[in-house]
Amino acid sequence: MPKRVFLKPAPGRTVFRENGTLWPVEGEHASTASKYVRRRMKDGDLVEANPPRPVRKKADGGEA
């Protein structure tokens, strides 16, 4: 069953998305339903990673 995972390019790799744009170095969520994504994972071009934590902001508008 396909699932959504957070993926980043492996260190030292440049990975293109199916549409020809670059995969963000900071990573993004993707579905494993895509044969393209599964192949990039199998080849070691994309690796699972923890998504970045959202930046919490204080009530006065500053960062936490």
pLDDT band at 2 (very low <50, low <70, confident <90, very high): confident
Q: Is the pLDDT of residue 1 over 90?
A: no
Query: Strand, helix or coil at 16?
Result: strand
The per-residue pLDDT for range 7-29, each reduced to its tens digit, is 999 999 999 999 999 999 999 99
Q: What is the pLDDT of residue 63?
A: 63
CA distance 18 to 1: 21
The per-residue pLDDT for range 31-50, each reduced to its tens digit, is 999 999 999 999 999 999 99
Q: 55's torsion region: left (phi>0), alpha (psi -120 to 50) or beta?
A: beta
CB 51 within 8 A of CB 44: no
Query: Strand, helix or coil at 47?
Result: strand
Spell out the alpha helix ranges (H) of 1-64.
35-42
Q: Is the pLDDT of residue 61 over 80?
A: no
